[in-house]
Amino acid sequence: MAYNVTDLEKTRVFYRDVLGCIEGRSTDTWVDFNFFGHQISMHLGEPFKVEHTGEVGEHIVAMPHLGVALQLDDWETVAKRLEAVNTEFIIAPVGRFIGKAGEQYTMFFTDPSGNPIEIKGFKSLDTIFDH
């Protein structure tokens, strides 16, 4: 994934210090991170345009948005890190479909440039597509 951000230092603090991503290569105009096993590159520029058209339960969320699925214990660690810095959630960490096929945990928020991110947690990643 590669997308634009408005401030590289705020981006570094958020992705490295809050989310816990490992910083990779960088220049004066971009920075790479290991985003939970996936490479992301953030470049200085205007963030992508979003529309609030995605339905997640009773919430309407920004489309498009970035996302990742994590093991539940890793998801809980990220949720605690975000809560510790008083992140303003669009969807606060919550469980969905509890006790049913497709049981998952989700949270939705934006990075400092307004890029929307959804992180889901699963007891087993083998159940991501269960229905």
Q: Which amino acid is at 54?
A: G
Q: Which amino acid is at 100?
A: K
pLDDT tens digits along 109-128: 999 999 999 999 999 999 89
Q: Classify each residue of 97-123 as buried b or exposed e, where b means 16 or more C-beta atoms within 10 Å of its C-beta.
A: eeeeeebbbbbbbbbbbebbbbbbbbe
C-alpha 62/C-alpha 56 separation (Å) is 10
**Phi and psi for 77 in degrees, rounded to 5?**
-65, -45
Q: Which amino acid is at 64?
A: P
pLDDT, average across residues 74-101: 96
The residues spanned by each domain of the chain are 2-127
Query: 2-127 has which CATH code?
Result: 3.10.180.10
pLDDT tens digits along 46-77: 999 999 999 988 899 999 999 999 999 999 99
Predicted model pTM = 0.92
